[in-house]
């Protein structure tokens, strides 16, 4: 699919990987719908840069852990833009909770935001894309969907669900809508990560260095442009998965 002139909706577009994805799509000529929940200042800065490129930028605030809010937001976005061509489900939370301390509320928040919310966005917009006859959905997974780290179990399991959701929606929305996922590895460390933790992770990476948000953005661009890839989970991990 030619990106120039399309409308792309990126969730969590105000910071980190989401911002890099939004800007990469704008550089290729897409108009952007920039989703945020708490990172308004970041989203506004991304919108400023998108507009400087001569593209349109619509800011929307939606709590993706609130299913009815997602459905209302999708309807409003579709009406305001005249239709979305590509959805990038990037927004997520990354709570660290030792497995013995996990509470039901930890499961609720991780699954609501990291799995149910992306599914709600994908279904609401994907059905409309399918009816219109074209579209792309790219979900952000994680190498941790296969490597269960005991201090991040709700997150890891939710991302494993994203992989399954990607494959399921690829079948449900075919042939009009192609659905894929990108699974980053050591791209951006958690803010609380120690140098010891970072080095331990990088020792498992054959390329021996962290990736960048732009590496992930390039993979997203590829999957949006591709016309014959669907149901794929594309790792962007420097080979880290080979160590498991």
Per-position DSSP letters for 163-227, written without gaps between them: HHHHHHHHHHHTTTEEEEEEEE-SSS--TT--HHHHHHHHTT-TT-S---HHHHHHHHHHHHH-S
The single residue of 36, 155, 197, 228 carrying the catalytic annotation is 155
Half-sphere exposure of 214 (CA within 13 A, CB side): 1
Is residue 155 part of the annotated active site? The answer reads yes
> Alpha-carbon torsion 37, 40, 46, 47, what sign?
positive
d(Cα 196, Cα 41) in Å, to the nearest integer? Answer: 32
Q: What is the DSSP letter of 228?
A: S
Report CA-CA distances (Å) from 186 to 31, 100, 183, 240. Answer: 29, 26, 10, 8
Q: List, by residue number, the catalytic residues.
A: 155
């Amino acid at each position: 699919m030619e990106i120039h002139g399309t409308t792309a909706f990126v969730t969590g577009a105000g910071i980190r990987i989401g911002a890099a994805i939004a800007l990469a799509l704008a550089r290729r000529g897409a108009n952007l719908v920039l989703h945020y929940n708490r990172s308004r200042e970041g989203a506004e800065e991304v919108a400023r840069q998108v507009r400087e490129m001569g593209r349109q930028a619509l800011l929307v605030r939606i709590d993706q852990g609130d299913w009815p809010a997602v459905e209302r937001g999708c309807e409003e976005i579709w009406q305001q833009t005249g239709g979305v061509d590509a959805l990038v489900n990037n927004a997520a939370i990354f709570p660290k909770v030792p497995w013995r301390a996990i509470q039901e509320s930890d499961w609720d928040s991780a699954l609501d935001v990291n799995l149910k919310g992306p599914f709600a966005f994908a279904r609401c917009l994907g059905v409309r894309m399918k009816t219109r006859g074209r579209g792309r959905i790219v979900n952000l997974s994680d190498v941790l969907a296969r490597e269960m780290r005991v201090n991040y179990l709700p997150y890891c399991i939710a991302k494993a669900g994203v992989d399954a959701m990607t494959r399921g929606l690829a079948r449900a929305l075919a042939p009009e809508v192609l659905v894929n996922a990108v699974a980053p590895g050591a791209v951006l460390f958690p803010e609380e990560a120690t140098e010891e933790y970072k080095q331990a992770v990088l020792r498992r990476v054959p390329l021996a260095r962290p990736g960048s948000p732009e590496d992930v953005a390039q993979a997203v661009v590829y999957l949006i442009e591709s016309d014959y890839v669907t149901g794929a989970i594309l790792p962007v991990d420097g080979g880290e998965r080979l160590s498991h």
